[in-house]
Structure 1
Amino acid sequence: MLKNKLISAGLVAAGLLLSAAASAQVYVGGTVGKAKWNNDCSGTSTCSTNANTYKLLGGYNINNTFAVEGSYYSLGTIDASYRDATTSATGSLKAKAFELAGIAKYDFTNELTGFAKLGVASVKAEGSASANVAGLGSFAGSGSTTSTQPVFGLGLTYKLTKELALRGEFETRKVKFGDDKSAVNNLSVGLQYAF
Protein backbone atom coordinates (compact mmCIF):
# COMPACT_ATOMS: atom_id res chain seq x y z
CA MET A 1 0.00 0.00 0.00
CA LEU A 2 2.81 2.42 0.89
CA LYS A 3 4.54 1.55 -2.40
CA ASN A 4 1.39 2.54 -4.33
CA LYS A 5 1.22 5.83 -2.40
CA LEU A 6 4.86 6.55 -3.19
CA ILE A 7 4.28 5.86 -6.88
CA SER A 8 1.17 8.09 -6.86
CA ALA A 9 3.04 10.91 -5.10
CA GLY A 10 5.89 10.57 -7.60
CA LEU A 11 3.48 10.81 -10.54
CA VAL A 12 1.80 13.88 -9.04
CA ALA A 13 5.17 15.54 -8.48
CA ALA A 14 6.30 14.69 -12.01
CA GLY A 15 3.07 16.12 -13.41
CA LEU A 16 3.53 19.32 -11.43
CA LEU A 17 7.10 19.70 -12.66
CA LEU A 18 6.15 19.03 -16.28
CA SER A 19 3.37 21.57 -16.17
CA ALA A 20 5.65 24.17 -14.56
CA ALA A 21 7.11 25.20 -17.92
CA ALA A 22 3.65 25.93 -19.26
CA SER A 23 2.23 27.69 -16.22
CA ALA A 24 3.47 30.15 -13.63
CA GLN A 25 0.86 28.76 -11.23
CA VAL A 26 2.98 25.85 -9.96
CA TYR A 27 5.09 26.12 -6.80
CA VAL A 28 7.34 23.86 -4.75
CA GLY A 29 8.85 24.29 -1.33
CA GLY A 30 10.18 22.85 1.86
CA THR A 31 9.95 23.62 5.56
CA VAL A 32 11.57 22.55 8.82
CA GLY A 33 10.13 22.94 12.28
CA LYS A 34 9.13 21.54 15.64
CA ALA A 35 6.20 19.32 16.53
CA LYS A 36 4.56 18.99 19.95
CA TRP A 37 2.91 15.59 20.47
CA ASN A 38 0.06 15.50 22.99
CA ASN A 39 1.13 12.24 24.68
CA ASP A 40 0.69 11.27 28.33
CA CYS A 41 4.08 10.97 30.05
CA SER A 42 2.75 9.85 33.45
CA GLY A 43 4.56 6.82 34.86
CA THR A 44 7.75 7.38 32.88
CA SER A 45 11.25 8.27 34.08
CA THR A 46 12.03 10.38 30.99
CA CYS A 47 9.73 11.50 28.23
CA SER A 48 10.22 13.66 25.13
CA THR A 49 7.14 14.91 23.29
CA ASN A 50 8.90 17.48 21.07
CA ALA A 51 10.36 16.44 17.73
CA ASN A 52 12.11 17.94 14.70
CA THR A 53 10.03 17.95 11.52
CA TYR A 54 10.40 18.56 7.80
CA LYS A 55 8.07 18.83 4.83
CA LEU A 56 8.40 18.81 1.02
CA LEU A 57 5.47 20.33 -0.85
CA GLY A 58 4.16 21.15 -4.29
CA GLY A 59 1.09 23.11 -5.23
CA TYR A 60 -0.97 24.69 -7.97
CA ASN A 61 -2.56 28.14 -7.72
CA ILE A 62 -6.04 27.83 -9.23
CA ASN A 63 -6.46 31.62 -8.95
CA ASN A 64 -5.45 34.42 -6.54
CA THR A 65 -7.70 33.00 -3.81
CA PHE A 66 -7.46 29.21 -4.03
CA ALA A 67 -4.77 26.54 -4.48
CA VAL A 68 -4.35 22.80 -4.12
CA GLU A 69 -1.27 21.42 -2.43
CA GLY A 70 0.32 18.01 -1.92
CA SER A 71 3.08 17.27 0.55
CA TYR A 72 5.19 14.62 2.19
CA TYR A 73 6.24 15.29 5.76
CA SER A 74 7.87 13.73 8.81
CA LEU A 75 6.62 14.57 12.29
CA GLY A 76 9.82 13.31 13.87
CA THR A 77 10.32 10.83 16.72
CA ILE A 78 9.29 11.00 20.37
CA ASP A 79 10.51 8.64 23.08
CA ALA A 80 10.10 7.67 26.70
CA SER A 81 11.86 5.44 29.22
CA TYR A 82 11.17 3.85 32.60
CA ARG A 83 13.60 2.53 35.16
CA ASP A 84 13.32 1.12 38.66
CA ALA A 85 15.25 -1.43 40.72
CA THR A 86 14.14 -4.42 38.62
CA THR A 87 12.96 -3.05 35.27
CA SER A 88 14.25 -0.83 32.51
CA ALA A 89 12.19 -0.04 29.42
CA THR A 90 12.32 2.30 26.43
CA GLY A 91 9.84 3.15 23.70
CA SER A 92 9.68 5.42 20.67
CA LEU A 93 7.04 6.58 18.21
CA LYS A 94 7.48 8.33 14.85
CA ALA A 95 5.15 9.39 12.07
CA LYS A 96 5.28 10.41 8.41
CA ALA A 97 2.51 11.17 5.95
CA PHE A 98 1.32 12.14 2.49
CA GLU A 99 -1.20 14.97 2.44
CA LEU A 100 -3.55 16.62 -0.04
CA ALA A 101 -5.09 19.96 0.94
CA GLY A 102 -7.12 22.87 -0.31
CA ILE A 103 -5.67 26.33 0.36
CA ALA A 104 -7.66 29.57 0.75
CA LYS A 105 -5.46 32.69 0.43
CA TYR A 106 -5.80 36.37 1.23
CA ASP A 107 -3.32 39.07 0.13
CA PHE A 108 -2.64 41.54 2.95
CA THR A 109 -0.11 43.40 0.78
CA ASN A 110 1.64 42.72 -2.54
CA GLU A 111 4.29 40.76 -0.61
CA LEU A 112 2.40 39.30 2.39
CA THR A 113 -0.26 36.60 1.93
CA GLY A 114 -2.14 34.67 4.60
CA PHE A 115 -3.56 31.23 4.02
CA ALA A 116 -5.78 28.63 5.65
CA LYS A 117 -5.46 24.97 4.82
CA LEU A 118 -7.88 22.05 5.12
CA GLY A 119 -6.83 18.62 3.95
CA VAL A 120 -6.58 14.93 4.48
CA ALA A 121 -3.45 12.89 5.19
CA SER A 122 -2.46 9.24 5.09
CA VAL A 123 -0.40 9.03 8.28
CA LYS A 124 1.90 6.10 9.06
CA ALA A 125 2.93 5.78 12.72
CA GLU A 126 5.69 3.36 13.71
CA GLY A 127 6.45 2.41 17.29
CA SER A 128 8.99 0.22 19.02
CA ALA A 129 9.61 -0.78 22.63
CA SER A 130 12.08 -2.89 24.59
CA ALA A 131 12.30 -3.93 28.23
CA ASN A 132 14.65 -5.78 30.53
CA VAL A 133 13.06 -7.29 33.64
CA ALA A 134 15.22 -8.88 36.35
CA GLY A 135 14.63 -12.62 36.49
CA LEU A 136 12.56 -12.68 33.28
CA GLY A 137 14.99 -11.39 30.63
CA SER A 138 14.68 -8.98 27.73
CA PHE A 139 11.68 -8.29 25.50
CA ALA A 140 11.27 -6.18 22.36
CA GLY A 141 8.56 -5.42 19.85
CA SER A 142 7.51 -3.02 17.13
CA GLY A 143 4.49 -2.20 15.01
CA SER A 144 2.89 0.34 12.72
CA THR A 145 -0.52 1.82 12.02
CA THR A 146 -1.64 3.70 8.89
CA SER A 147 -4.72 5.90 9.15
CA THR A 148 -6.46 8.70 7.28
CA GLN A 149 -6.63 11.91 9.32
CA PRO A 150 -7.80 15.50 8.76
CA VAL A 151 -5.22 18.32 8.69
CA PHE A 152 -5.82 21.98 9.52
CA GLY A 153 -3.36 24.82 9.12
CA LEU A 154 -2.80 28.57 9.07
CA GLY A 155 0.19 30.32 7.56
CA LEU A 156 1.86 33.26 5.89
CA THR A 157 4.05 33.69 2.84
CA TYR A 158 6.23 36.73 2.25
CA LYS A 159 7.58 37.35 -1.27
CA LEU A 160 11.32 38.00 -1.39
CA THR A 161 11.29 38.08 -5.20
CA LYS A 162 8.64 37.37 -7.84
CA GLU A 163 9.43 33.63 -7.59
CA LEU A 164 10.81 33.11 -4.06
CA ALA A 165 8.87 33.49 -0.80
CA LEU A 166 9.37 32.78 2.88
CA ARG A 167 6.73 30.46 4.30
CA GLY A 168 5.65 29.97 7.90
CA GLU A 169 2.78 27.87 9.13
CA PHE A 170 1.05 26.22 12.06
CA GLU A 171 -0.62 22.85 11.46
CA THR A 172 -2.53 20.41 13.62
CA ARG A 173 -3.38 16.78 12.92
CA LYS A 174 -3.92 13.41 14.61
CA VAL A 175 -1.57 10.43 14.66
CA LYS A 176 -3.09 7.03 15.39
CA PHE A 177 -1.00 4.15 16.75
CA GLY A 178 -2.94 1.02 17.64
CA ASP A 179 -6.06 2.22 19.48
CA ASP A 180 -4.46 5.46 20.68
CA LYS A 181 -4.65 8.84 18.96
CA SER A 182 -2.32 11.75 19.63
CA ALA A 183 -2.86 15.34 18.58
CA VAL A 184 0.31 16.75 16.99
CA ASN A 185 0.82 20.49 16.54
CA ASN A 186 3.57 21.61 14.19
CA LEU A 187 5.18 25.03 13.69
CA SER A 188 7.47 25.31 10.66
CA VAL A 189 9.32 27.79 8.45
CA GLY A 190 10.84 27.42 5.00
CA LEU A 191 10.92 28.59 1.40
CA GLN A 192 8.48 28.39 -1.49
CA TYR A 193 9.42 28.83 -5.16
CA ALA A 194 6.91 29.65 -7.91
CA PHE A 195 7.74 28.68 -11.50
Structure 2
Amino acid sequence: MMLNKKLVVGMIATAGFMLSAAASAQVYVGATVGKAHWNDDCKNVVSCSTSSNTYKLLGGYNIDKNFAVEASYFSLGTISATGNVGGTNVSADMKGKGFEVSGLYKYEFTPELSGFAKLGLASIKAEGSGAVAGVGAYNDSTTSTQPVFGFGASYKLTKELALRGEFETRKIKFSGDKEAVNNISVGLQYSF
Protein backbone atom coordinates (compact mmCIF):
# COMPACT_ATOMS: atom_id res chain seq x y z
CA MET A 1 0.00 0.00 0.00
CA MET A 2 2.90 2.34 0.78
CA LEU A 3 4.34 1.81 -2.71
CA ASN A 4 0.98 2.80 -4.25
CA LYS A 5 0.99 6.06 -2.22
CA LYS A 6 4.56 6.77 -3.34
CA LEU A 7 3.54 6.12 -6.96
CA VAL A 8 0.62 8.56 -6.70
CA VAL A 9 2.86 11.22 -5.09
CA GLY A 10 5.42 10.69 -7.85
CA MET A 11 2.78 11.03 -10.54
CA ILE A 12 1.45 14.26 -8.97
CA ALA A 13 4.98 15.65 -8.76
CA THR A 14 5.60 14.70 -12.40
CA ALA A 15 2.35 16.35 -13.48
CA GLY A 16 3.30 19.52 -11.57
CA PHE A 17 6.73 19.50 -13.15
CA MET A 18 5.21 19.15 -16.62
CA LEU A 19 2.70 21.95 -16.01
CA SER A 20 5.40 24.30 -14.75
CA ALA A 21 7.36 23.69 -17.95
CA ALA A 22 4.33 24.18 -20.23
CA ALA A 23 5.87 27.26 -21.85
CA SER A 24 8.64 25.20 -23.40
CA ALA A 25 8.47 22.94 -26.44
CA GLN A 26 9.43 19.99 -24.25
CA VAL A 27 5.93 19.26 -22.92
CA TYR A 28 3.50 17.02 -24.80
CA VAL A 29 0.04 15.50 -24.31
CA GLY A 30 -1.71 12.73 -26.18
CA ALA A 31 -4.38 10.08 -26.37
CA THR A 32 -4.43 6.58 -27.84
CA VAL A 33 -7.00 3.86 -28.49
CA GLY A 34 -6.34 0.21 -29.15
CA LYS A 35 -6.87 -3.46 -28.38
CA ALA A 36 -5.66 -5.49 -25.43
CA HIS A 37 -5.19 -9.23 -25.24
CA TRP A 38 -5.47 -10.76 -21.75
CA ASN A 39 -3.51 -14.01 -21.35
CA ASP A 40 -6.37 -15.95 -19.76
CA ASP A 41 -6.46 -19.68 -20.50
CA CYS A 42 -10.32 -19.87 -20.66
CA LYS A 43 -10.34 -23.53 -19.60
CA ASN A 44 -13.65 -25.21 -18.71
CA VAL A 45 -15.88 -22.37 -19.95
CA VAL A 46 -18.63 -22.22 -22.55
CA SER A 47 -17.62 -18.83 -23.96
CA CYS A 48 -14.72 -16.53 -23.28
CA SER A 49 -13.60 -13.12 -24.54
CA THR A 50 -9.94 -12.24 -23.90
CA SER A 51 -9.72 -9.13 -26.13
CA SER A 52 -10.93 -5.69 -25.14
CA ASN A 53 -10.95 -2.09 -26.35
CA THR A 54 -8.51 0.23 -24.59
CA TYR A 55 -7.67 3.90 -24.27
CA LYS A 56 -4.98 6.04 -22.68
CA LEU A 57 -4.52 9.73 -21.85
CA LEU A 58 -0.91 10.81 -21.44
CA GLY A 59 1.36 13.74 -20.72
CA GLY A 60 5.11 13.87 -21.00
CA TYR A 61 8.21 15.99 -20.66
CA ASN A 62 11.22 15.69 -22.98
CA ILE A 63 14.32 15.95 -20.78
CA ASP A 64 16.50 16.08 -23.91
CA LYS A 65 16.31 14.63 -27.43
CA ASN A 66 16.79 11.05 -26.16
CA PHE A 67 15.03 10.90 -22.78
CA ALA A 68 11.53 11.73 -21.56
CA VAL A 69 9.28 11.07 -18.57
CA GLU A 70 5.62 10.31 -19.11
CA ALA A 71 2.54 9.92 -16.90
CA SER A 72 -0.71 8.38 -18.11
CA TYR A 73 -4.15 7.14 -17.15
CA PHE A 74 -5.22 3.99 -19.00
CA SER A 75 -8.13 1.59 -19.31
CA LEU A 76 -7.48 -1.99 -20.40
CA GLY A 77 -11.16 -2.67 -21.07
CA THR A 78 -13.27 -5.63 -19.93
CA ILE A 79 -13.09 -9.37 -20.60
CA SER A 80 -15.82 -11.90 -19.82
CA ALA A 81 -16.53 -15.63 -19.54
CA THR A 82 -19.56 -17.87 -19.04
CA GLY A 83 -19.62 -21.49 -18.06
CA ASN A 84 -21.37 -24.33 -16.30
CA VAL A 85 -20.02 -25.68 -13.03
CA GLY A 86 -21.79 -28.75 -11.65
CA GLY A 87 -24.94 -27.95 -13.59
CA THR A 88 -24.95 -24.31 -12.43
CA ASN A 89 -24.55 -21.42 -14.88
CA VAL A 90 -21.85 -18.91 -13.93
CA SER A 91 -20.60 -15.71 -15.55
CA ALA A 92 -17.70 -13.41 -14.78
CA ASP A 93 -16.25 -10.11 -16.01
CA MET A 94 -12.90 -8.49 -15.27
CA LYS A 95 -11.65 -5.01 -16.11
CA GLY A 96 -8.42 -3.15 -15.50
CA LYS A 97 -7.46 0.50 -15.26
CA GLY A 98 -4.75 2.57 -13.67
CA PHE A 99 -2.05 5.21 -13.65
CA GLU A 100 1.57 4.85 -14.65
CA VAL A 101 4.83 6.78 -14.69
CA SER A 102 7.48 5.76 -17.23
CA GLY A 103 10.87 6.74 -18.50
CA LEU A 104 11.31 6.75 -22.28
CA TYR A 105 14.46 6.34 -24.34
CA LYS A 106 13.92 7.86 -27.79
CA TYR A 107 15.87 7.52 -31.02
CA GLU A 108 15.35 9.73 -34.08
CA PHE A 109 15.52 7.77 -37.37
CA THR A 110 14.62 10.79 -39.54
CA PRO A 111 13.48 14.33 -38.65
CA GLU A 112 9.87 13.05 -38.83
CA LEU A 113 10.16 9.44 -37.56
CA SER A 114 11.40 8.41 -34.13
CA GLY A 115 11.15 5.28 -32.04
CA PHE A 116 11.03 4.80 -28.28
CA ALA A 117 11.32 2.17 -25.57
CA LYS A 118 9.66 2.66 -22.20
CA LEU A 119 9.97 1.24 -18.71
CA GLY A 120 7.85 2.26 -15.75
CA LEU A 121 5.59 1.43 -12.85
CA ALA A 122 1.81 1.21 -12.99
CA SER A 123 -0.75 1.24 -10.20
CA ILE A 124 -3.41 -1.09 -11.64
CA LYS A 125 -6.88 -1.70 -10.26
CA ALA A 126 -8.43 -5.00 -11.37
CA GLU A 127 -12.16 -5.31 -10.78
CA GLY A 128 -14.00 -8.61 -11.07
CA SER A 129 -17.73 -9.28 -10.96
CA GLY A 130 -19.90 -12.24 -11.69
CA ALA A 131 -23.07 -14.17 -11.03
CA VAL A 132 -23.89 -17.73 -10.05
CA ALA A 133 -27.40 -18.84 -11.10
CA GLY A 134 -29.63 -19.34 -8.07
CA VAL A 135 -26.94 -18.08 -5.66
CA GLY A 136 -26.30 -14.40 -6.41
CA ALA A 137 -23.71 -11.91 -7.59
CA TYR A 138 -20.24 -11.00 -6.36
CA ASN A 139 -17.80 -8.11 -6.80
CA ASP A 140 -14.13 -7.85 -5.87
CA SER A 141 -11.18 -5.60 -6.67
CA THR A 142 -7.42 -5.65 -6.22
CA THR A 143 -4.94 -2.80 -6.64
CA SER A 144 -1.27 -3.60 -7.21
CA THR A 145 1.88 -1.93 -8.45
CA GLN A 146 3.33 -3.65 -11.51
CA PRO A 147 6.06 -2.93 -14.05
CA VAL A 148 5.12 -1.76 -17.54
CA PHE A 149 7.29 -2.29 -20.62
CA GLY A 150 6.71 -0.96 -24.09
CA PHE A 151 8.07 0.27 -27.39
CA GLY A 152 6.66 2.34 -30.20
CA ALA A 153 7.15 5.03 -32.80
CA SER A 154 5.92 8.51 -33.56
CA TYR A 155 5.67 10.26 -36.89
CA LYS A 156 5.47 14.08 -37.06
CA LEU A 157 2.52 15.28 -39.14
CA THR A 158 3.30 18.92 -38.32
CA LYS A 159 5.77 20.65 -36.00
CA GLU A 160 3.38 20.14 -33.05
CA LEU A 161 1.25 17.12 -34.00
CA ALA A 162 2.49 13.53 -34.31
CA LEU A 163 0.93 10.13 -34.95
CA ARG A 164 1.90 7.66 -32.21
CA GLY A 165 1.77 3.86 -32.16
CA GLU A 166 2.93 1.54 -29.39
CA PHE A 167 2.96 -1.91 -27.86
CA GLU A 168 2.83 -2.28 -24.05
CA THR A 169 2.71 -5.17 -21.64
CA ARG A 170 1.67 -5.19 -17.98
CA LYS A 171 0.65 -7.74 -15.38
CA ILE A 172 -2.68 -7.58 -13.60
CA LYS A 173 -2.96 -9.12 -10.14
CA PHE A 174 -6.38 -10.39 -9.07
CA SER A 175 -7.24 -12.80 -6.24
CA GLY A 176 -3.63 -13.94 -5.95
CA ASP A 177 -3.20 -14.63 -9.69
CA LYS A 178 -1.23 -12.54 -12.19
CA GLU A 179 -2.17 -12.25 -15.84
CA ALA A 180 -0.19 -10.55 -18.58
CA VAL A 181 -2.11 -8.01 -20.63
CA ASN A 182 -0.60 -6.93 -23.97
CA ASN A 183 -1.87 -3.75 -25.58
CA ILE A 184 -1.42 -2.32 -29.10
CA SER A 185 -2.60 1.26 -29.60
CA VAL A 186 -2.48 4.23 -31.95
CA GLY A 187 -3.22 7.88 -31.34
CA LEU A 188 -2.11 11.48 -31.54
CA GLN A 189 0.48 13.42 -29.57
CA TYR A 190 0.64 17.24 -29.39
CA SER A 191 3.82 19.10 -28.38
CA PHE A 192 3.64 22.61 -26.94
Aligned to 1:56: 57
SS in 2 for 1:17: helix
Q: Quote the Cα distance in structure 1 between the aligned partners of 2:135 and 2:144.
A: 31
Structure 2: which amino acid aligns with 1:149? Q
Q: Could you tell me the TM-score, scaled by structure 1's length?
A: 0.90
Call closer, same or farther: CA 1:4–1:142 in 2, change over 3 Å: farther
1:40 alignment partner, SS class: coil
Measured against aligned partners, the alpha-carbon deviations of 1:3-51 in whole angstroms (never above 9, x if no partner) come to 9977875675455234212x11000000000000001101000000000
- Cα gap change, 1:154 to 1:48, in 2 (>3 Å): same
- Counterpart of 1:110 in structure 2 is 111
Identity %: 62
Within-5 A mapping of 1:7-46: 12-13=14-15, 15-21=17-23, 23-46=24-47
Give the secondary structure class of the aligned counterpart of 1:39: coil
Q: Which is further off, 77-86 or 138-147?
A: 77-86
* Structure 2 counterpart of 1:144: 141
Unaligned runs of 5+ in 1: none
| Separation in structure 2 between the aligned mates of residue 71 and residue 153 of structure 1, nearest angstrom | 13
Partners of 1:45 and 1:131 in 2: CA distance: 14
- Mapped pair 1:168 → 2:165: yes
Given that 2:11 and 2:101 are in contact with CA atoms closer than 8 Å, whether structure 1 keeps it comes out as no
TM, length-normalised to structure 2: 0.91
Q: CA deviation at 1:190?
A: 0.1
> Which string of whole-angstrom CA distances, capped at 9 and with x for unpartnered residues, describes residues 62-91 of structure 1?
000000000000000000001479321110
> Any idea what the Cα deviations from partners look like across 1:113-158, whole Å, max 9, x if unmatched?
00000001001100011111xxxx2221111101110000010000
State how many pairs are aligned: 190
1 CA distance for matches of 2:27 and 2:85? 56
Structure-2 residue corresponding to 1:177: 174
RMSD of aligned C-alpha atoms?
Answer: 2.1
Q: Could you tell me which amino acid in structure 2 is paired with residue 98 of structure 1? A: F
Of residues 177, 184, 193 in structure 1, which corresponds to 2:190? 193
For 1:39, give the aligned amino acid.
D
Structure 2 gap segments, 5+ residues each: none
SS at match of 1:20: coil
Code of the residue aligned with 1:96 in structure 2: it is K
